Structures are given as C-alpha cells and as structure tokens.
A and B are shown apart, each in its own frame.
Chain A
Amino acid sequence: MKNKKSRGIKNRDNLGWIFIAPFLVVFLTFSIYPVLRTLYLSFTDYTGFNQPTWTGLENYARVFKDKLFWEAFGNTLKIWGVNIVLQLGIAFLLTIVFSDIKYRMCGLSVFRALFYLPNLIAATSVAFLFKTLLDWKFGSVNQLLTGMGVVDAPIDWLGTPALLRTVVGVIGAWMWFGNSFIMLMAGVQGINGDYFEAAAIDGAGRWKIFGSITLPLLRPILLYVAITSLIGGLQIFDIPYLISLGQAKMTRSVNTAVMHLYNMAFKNRQIGYAGSLAFILFFIIAICSVIVYRLMYAKEVD
C-alpha cells in the first residue's frame, strides 16, 4: 500500500495546493515575476526596445553619481517632512480631543468619515482642484488673501519651488490625516478605559494622562502609522507628477525619487537604469524602516 506517502491529487495533504493555486499563480505572475525581472533588467542596458545586454553593476554605480536622483531624493524628503509633521500632528491633536473623557465629544463616526473623505477623491481630481485654487492670477486662495489685505501682490504658489514643495506636502497631509486619525483613534479605543479612569481619580491632568498612559500604550499603532507613512512618503508620485504636468520648471522643483525613476524608464527609455533606481530606493526605504522600528522599540526596552 502506498497510502499516505503517495503523490498526486488523491493524497489529501496535497489537496491544499489546489486551493491556493489560483492565488499562487496570480501572485507569482504579477508580483514575484515582475520583481525578479526588474532585478535582472537592473543589471542590463535594456531600453524597452533592444535585447538587454549584461552590464554588471554599472547602473548601480551610476545611481550614486546621479545628481538629479539625489536632488529628487532631497525634494522627496522636503515634501515628506512637511507632510508627516502636519499629518501626524493634526491626527494626534484630533485623537487627543476625541479620546478625552472629559470633553465627551459626540459624533465621532461622522467626523471619522468626514476626515477620511479627502482620501477617497482621486489624486487627479485633487491635483486639479489645488491647481485651480492656487492659480497665480485667478486662484481663489490668492483672491481671498489679496481681498482681505493679507498680502499686497498675489503669491505664485505653483511657480516658486519652495512654496510648491510645501503645497504638495500640505496636500498630502490633507489627504492622509484622516487615515492616520482613524488608526490612532482605534489604538486609543483599544486601551482599557480603567487606566484613564484610575488616572483621573488619582488627579492626573490631561497632559499627564496623555504622556504617561495614551502615548506608551499607543506605541505599536504609532509604529505602524510611522512606517506606513514613511514608505508612502518616500514613494510619493501622483500629486507632484500631476500638479507639475507639462511645466518643465515646476517639474524639477517637485521632482521626487519615483518621478525621476518614471522619467528615466518611460521618457528617456533607460529601463535597466530605472530598475536599479527602484532597487536602491527599496533598500533606502527598508533601512529607514528598520531605523524607525529600532528607535521606537529601543524606548520600550528602557
């Protein structure tokens, strides 16, 4: 008898493969294969049209010398800096307000939906909306500011590199603070209410409670929010790309790392090089994530 050890479909141990086969095939075809193919191409001079020839580490060496890439990476950090401070700042503030037992804020679910709303709008619409609002001559924002006498001359929001980067960061924060808020709020609601009550009875103030109870117990969620927004922030592409579409000078000032990659691959047809940019970016993000992880858990060990 070859009962249990038998191969093939009749063995119940092997049946599991059939059940996961649909997912596995899709996953291997559309996730694993492209990654491996990109890795291979990153060592070649592939243009999308030619037969790829092996060039070794040439592309990777070029990434480190590519001033445009590092300029773009710097832009990414500047945009992300504005974005993360605002996004987490607002989300935190709202979490404090909504979780305070003394305020007894009502309508949490309504506000949660409202705050999340910007995230549901397509990036294209958001970019177009802000482009219209911030138009130099005829945008509502400038008309409002000049009308109220806050500024004398209209501000060229989209034509001044530093301002444009800030604007893109703010748009990102506006789109994502609701998302962070929901996660932080869920974290707070997961904390046992007895702690807050006990602290309140002991006479702890609002800030004391926040610093000694909410924050420490919120750390796992905080870590998750920090790492996901780091990954998202370093890969930012849609808003800067759309808002600067067709305007060379603006493109340069909000040229992010992923935009640079995109331009190299699909505009300059250097797919091999773009592949190596993708992998370098992957390693940078991985290292940053590890650093964030270590930093936040190191505190817990203390």
Chain B
Amino acid sequence: MKIKKLLAMTLAGVMTLSLAACGNGKTDSGSNTADTNKADTPAASSTTVSDAPADGEISDRDKAVNGESLVIWTLADDLKQFAQRYTDQTGVDIQVEVIAPADYPTKLTSALGAKSKEVDVIVGEPQMLLNFFEAGFFSDLSALDADAKEQIVDYVYEAGKDENGVLRALSYQVTPGAIIYRRDLAKEIFGTDDPDKMSAKFKDFDTILKTAEEVKDAGYRIFSDSGNLRWYANAGSAWVEDGVLQVSDAKLGYMDAAVKLYEDELVAFAPEWSAAWYASMAGELPLNAGWSDLAEVSGEDMTQVFSYSLPSWGALIVRDNAKDNKGKFGICSGPCSYFGGGTFIGVSEYSEHKDTAADFVRFCTLNQDTAQWWLETSNGDVVSNKAVLEANKDFENESFGNQKTYEFYTKEAQNIDYSIVTKYDDTIGQFWGSSIEAIQKGDMTREEAIEDFYMQVEMTFPEITVNR
C-alpha cells in the first residue's frame, strides 16, 4: 500500500515538474520574464559558448571594477576580439555568445519578442536588418548619427538606417565586391597584369564572355563555375522600384552570359565552397569536378581557374588557400559595384545598459584606433572607417602582388549605391538563378524561364507588380 502511494506521489511529482519546465521554457511577454530568462541563460550560454577564450572572459569578469557588464549575441568570432579590447580599455566586462547564422534570427526573435533584458548588444547581416528594425529590436542610435555620417563609408551608414531614416546599426567593416584574378595567367594570356586593364576585361557581361573565350583558348577557365557571377545578378540596378519588378536589359545580359558560360563550357564546373574550388586557388583542378572529393575525379582533364568573383572577405579566402600561388593574385573591378554580407552592430531595445552598449558600438565602429587595430589584427579585413582607409591607402599588399588593396576597396565601397538594395533581393535573386539554371539544363526556353520567373515573383510577393 505504502509503495503504491509513494509511486503515485512520484508520478504526480514528475508531472508537475514537467509542467513547470514547460512553463519556464515558454517566455510570455510579461513583467516576470526577466527572472525566468535570467535563470535560463547562464546554462544556455555555457553550452553554446564552446571554445576556450569564452571561459577566459568569464573569469575576467570577476575582475570587473565598476560592475557594469554587457552581453553580446553575435554571428562570428570577430566581436570576441573587439570585446576583449574593450574590456582591457574600460574594465567593462563582456560576455560574447556566438550563434550560427541560421539560428540567429529565431533566437533573437524569440528572446526580444518576449522583451528579454538578457542581451545588450545585438548584430545582424544586411538582409536581416530591415526585419529586425521593423520588429523594434534595435534601439535608436541617433546619438551616433552625426559622427557616423562623417566617419563611416556611405553605404554602411545608409544600411544601418531604418525605413524612417533613424540610425539603428553600424558596421566596422565594408564588404565591396571585386574580381580576384591570377596575375601570372593574365600576363601569359593578355600580356599584362595591370588591374585597370583587367577591369576593362570585366566591364560588362558581353566583355566577360569575350574574355572567357580568350581564357579558354589559352587552356584555362575564367571562373570555377557559372554561378560565380551571381553577385552581379541585379546588374547594378534595383530589382524592385516603387513596387514594380524591374527586369532591365542589363539583367537579361547577365542571364545570357551565365547561360553561355555554361553552354560553351567556359567555366571549370567546380561550385563555390566545393573541394575543387578551394584546390583551384593553389593550382590545377580537374574539369567537371562538381562537389566530388578530388581523389574521386583523378584522371579528368586538368585546368586552372583564372578569376574569382567575390566580396572583400572572399579575397581573404583566396589568399589563405593560395599556398604556392600566394602573391600571384590581383584585384580588379567587375561589371558593377556591390557589397555582400558584413556584421552590423546595434543595441537591444530592451537592454538595461543602453549607454554602455552604445559606447561599445561607438568603440567598434567610430573609433579610429580600433579600426586601425582591427585592420592589422584581422590581417586584411576592410574597415568602414573612412579616415583609417585613407591612412592605409598606400599600403602595398604582398599577398596581391603589392597592389594597394585598401585604396582599391575604398574606391569600390564608395561606389556602392545602397538605394538599389531591396528586402526582396535574396529571394528574387534565387528565382532568377533557378530560371537561368533551367535554361542551362535545357528544361525551359529563355522565354519560358523568364515567364516562370515572373510567375514565381508574383506568387511569392503579391505586393510587387509585374509588367511583362
């Protein structure tokens, strides 16, 4: 009898506990949420912050003198270094939690949707920012506006503003796009490796095709894959203007070029991020490697890739995988200016340390010492601070054949027209890409593929008018 009672009690206890657990996990928007969140988070963060430096930071926190502390949720390790430097200089203790980009919007939305006070500094990539601004997660940074306008590259300043023109986020870096080419192959094929002359070889899509043929005739391939040009998919003008879809001649030119690169086999068919793609930076790669392991495709014809079309962070990937080719690369302009990615920092609307958090944002983005330090520490990241870019413009970069890379990227960054960026770009770009693929594979004619593209845009975004 006693055993039965005990069992019943235990079961009831387990049930109640599981209910309580459910109650904790679900954060309602109310005044008591701060407590539940605080109870949750130390455990959560100790599991997510995995690497050793984070632990170091936590022990450093005990040394904090004035008791202020910040929590940062970020996408990449960069901010850990910024935080360490800030702590060293101010004594403010900072805890950095790195969250995978795919999980970031969900995590931020559920935490800040419940008005959690846990996090002070939040970040976003450009394509996430508008949604975050609309949701009211990023606090007003107008206090930094005047300095930002003066010190920061224009497009970054524009990207950090919400629809009403209120500054809410800033980035410490710029990510302008460029063509990264092999100087040695350029000399062999064209007799010159001068960046300006190379830029002329990539000035529009027709010229790129001609260049591609010349490169193929010499036994090489212009790009690793026909998808490499996708950064230029909007061909320098907006996809949507005043609610109307814009398919300009230049965009059609991009489509035709991408199809021709595929049909005439002007590329090596090694997709970005594939093993063959990485291998191509250091030398030869087999044709048509696709996503395969390189060991599996031995015996195919070998070739070399002449150029890569990537944002500024991509140049660092090429450099770091170049091995013996290090120093043999150059950087030139593509058909139009664009930027890709970049981490924007802001202050959480619900933070209890807004002033300190804003000071941290200022420290990361509007401080010339920090910018110069980051440029050196990151070994090549292009910072957003105009004065620092100006100061480094004569720096000759050994990895790129002593080219003045900062001068080049500064010019490219200043050419970026942020007004052509829309919140639809990612999805519409994907639709455009899949239409192009359908033509390449012969599943659709050009007309059918364009019609299919119109249909997809119309169905996905009813608010966009499509004029056929």
Contact = CB atoms under 8 A, between A and B. Distances in A.
Interface of A: 22, 25-26, 29-30, 47-50, 62, 65-69, 137-138, 159, 161, 248-249, 252, 264, 267-269
A22 B19 contact: yes
B316 interface: no
B456 interface: yes
Contact of B290 (A65, A137, A161): A137
Interface in B439-463: 441, 443, 455-456, 459-462
A66 B132 CA distance: 28
A65 B19 CA distance: 43
Interface of B: 15-16, 19, 22, 26, 109, 131-132, 134-135, 290, 292, 296, 427, 430, 433-434, 437-438, 441, 443, 455-456, 459-462
A134 B297 CA distance: 17
A22 B12 CA distance: 9
Contacts of A269: 131
A62 B16 CA distance: 44
Q: State the majority secondary structure of interface residues on B.
A: helix
Contact of B22 (A29, A68, A137, A264): A29
B430 A248 contact: yes
Q: State the majority secondary structure of interface residues on A.
A: helix
A67 B455 CA distance: 8
A26 B23 CA distance: 10
Contact of B441 (A69, A249, A252, A267): A249
Nearest to A22: B15
B427 A50 contact: no
Contacts of A68: 455-456, 459-460
A65 B458 CA distance: 10
A264 to B, nearest CB: 8
Nearest to B459: A68
A268 B438 contact: no
A67 B15 contact: no
A68 B22 CA distance: 37
Contacts of B462: 62
Contact of B296 (A29, A138, A264): A138
A50 B455 contact: no
A42 B443 CA distance: 36
A49 B131 contact: yes
B434 A137 contact: no
A25 B131 contact: no
A50 B135 contact: yes
A47 B456 CA distance: 19
Nearest to A264: B460
A249 B427 contact: no
Contacts of A47: 131, 134
Given A49-B132, A137-B290, A269-B131, A66 B434 contact: no
B438 A249 contact: yes
30 contacts: A22-B15, A22-B16, A25-B19, A26-B22, A29-B26, A30-B22, A47-B131, A48-B109, A48-B131, A48-B135, A49-B109, A49-B131, A49-B134, A49-B135, A50-B135, A62-B462, A65-B459, A66-B459, A67-B459, A68-B459, A68-B460, A69-B459, A137-B292, A137-B296, A138-B292, A248-B433, A249-B438, A252-B434, A267-B427, A269-B131
Given A49-B132, A264-B460, A269-B131, 5 more contacts: A48-B109, A48-B135, A68-B459, A137-B292, A248-B437
A26 B21 CA distance: 11
Contacts of A138: 292, 296
A62 B458 CA distance: 11
A221 B114 CA distance: 47
The 8 closest A-B pairs by CB, nearest first: A49-B135, A248-B434, A68-B459, A22-B15, A49-B131, A49-B134, A249-B437, A66-B459
Contacts of B443: 161
Nearest to B438: A249
B290 to A, nearest CB: 7
A53 to B, nearest CB: 13
A66 B455 CA distance: 9
Contacts of A49: 109, 131-132, 134-135
